Amino acid sequence: MSEVATLPPPPAAAHRDNAMWLDEQIWGHRLWDAQSPWLIFLEFLTVAEACHSEGRLFHDRADGSTLQFRPGKRLYLRNILYNNEVILEIAERVSDDATAWTRWLAWMTENAQAVPDRDFSYLRERFRSFRQFASLVTMIRSSTIESHLNKRWSSRFVFPF
């Protein structure tokens, strides 16, 4: 008789739905069925970075144990870069800086996913204007790896994030 694998339960209240959790259980961290070879190599580097940060990059696994690691998910950054299509619309249509920040912060409070605190107001102090912030987000987005292939915000990334 074959054994049935038991998955851990989905994280409580981590997502509005657990599609991202389910994908990771099936394919592993950011891997999918038609992954390009060089993108798999970048995933290898992500695993290496996680092991390095835990002080066990060259740990000998001669005991046959399974490699376990905690990748840096950086979900706040991922929400800003990829789960945030409204940022460009606000930057283009709202000329008043205070109103632009207010609208964007309200939108993020309602729509950010997989983060415990949806308060992004600290960003307002770090940029001279909302347009400057939106321009930076646009510039970083332009370096997204295989952006034309990954439709979901949770599947896109700028290496190593």
- Tell me: the pLDDT tens digits for 64-74? 677 777 767 78
pLDDT digits (tens, 9 = 90+) for 38-63: 777 877 888 888 888 888 888 777 77
Q: List, in order, residues 6 or more apart from 15 with CB less than 8 Å away.
A: 21, 113, 114
| Assigned domain for 133 exists | yes
**Integer CA distances (angstroms), 36 to 40, 45, 49, in order:** 6, 15, 20
Are residues 57 and 112 part of one domain?
A: no
pTM of the model: 0.63
Report helix, strand or coil for 81. helix
Are residues 127 and 83 part of one domain?
A: yes
Are residues 41 and 86 part of one domain?
A: no
Are residues 90 and 52 part of one domain?
A: no
Are residues 133 and 111 part of one domain?
A: yes
| The two three-digit tokens of residue 21, written as one number | 């959790």
Residue 98, Ramachandran bin (φ over 0: left; ψ between -120 and 50: alpha; else beta):
alpha
pLDDT digits (tens, 9 = 90+) for 93-117: 999 999 999 999 999 999 999 899 9
Domain that holds residue 85: 75-141
pLDDT for the residue numbered 161: 46
Domain count, the chain: 2
| The two three-digit tokens of residue 2, written as one number | 């074959």
Answer for the pair 107, 86: CB distance below 8 angstroms, yes or no.
yes
Checking if the pLDDT of 123 tops 90, the result is yes
| Assigned domain for 160 exists | no
Residue 142, Ramachandran bin (φ over 0: left; ψ between -120 and 50: alpha; else beta):
alpha
Answer for the pair 102, 121: CB distance below 8 angstroms, yes or no.
no
Are residues 82 and 68 part of one domain?
A: no
| Assigned domain for 3 exists | no
